Amino acid sequence: MRTFSEFQIIGHVGKVRSVGPTLRVDIAADYGRKDDTGQFQSNPYWNEVTLFNDRVIAWAKDTVKTGDLVHVRGTLRQTRYEKDGQTVYGVTLAAEDFDLLAPKAQVGA
């Protein structure tokens, strides 16, 4: 039996930056809710996804802009390293599928 750990995000692009051979993309997913008066309150949560595939990185650099709506699916990888005698834990969201759903200009149009 195959086992796996997977994530999926639909959200808006924030920062895009190269880190070594990878591309890191911040994506805001909005966990909005209605407040006590019935008004919708935005509650974005930022997730950083990492792209490893050279072809996807090149496409994303040329195509994806801040504010665009994207769909990302991939695997979760727990990380662990030592820093100043302390163990530091983290999670890498390794993107396998990275798709543009709508450019910023079309979002909400």
- Where residue 108 falls among pLDDT bands split at 50, 70, 90? low
Closest alpha carbon to 9 in 74, 61, 55, 54: 74
pLDDT of 77-96, one tens digit each? 999 999 999 999 999 999 99
User: What's the one-letter identity of residue 47?
Assistant: N
Establish if 79 belongs to a structural domain: yes
- Where residue 107 falls among pLDDT bands split at 50, 70, 90? low
pLDDT of 46-71, one tens digit each? 999 999 999 999 999 999 999 999 99
> Which residues partner with 62 through β-bridges?
none
CATH code for the domain in which residue 100 is found: 2.40.50.140
Per-residue pLDDT for 100 more than 80? yes
- Where residue 103 falls among pLDDT bands split at 50, 70, 90? very high
Total Cβ atoms within 10 A of residue 54? 11
- Positive or negative torsion for Cα 75, 76, 78, 79: positive
Q: Looking at residue 105, what DSSP letter applies?
A: G
Establish if 100 belongs to a structural domain: yes
Establish if 91 belongs to a structural domain: yes
Q: Are strands 86-102 and 44-51 parallel, antiparallel or unpaired?
A: parallel
Q: Looking at residue 91, what DSSP letter applies?
A: E
Region 2-31: mean pLDDT is: 94
Q: Give dist(CA 34, CA 91) in Å, integer.
A: 30
Establish if 83 belongs to a structural domain: yes
Establish if 86 belongs to a structural domain: yes
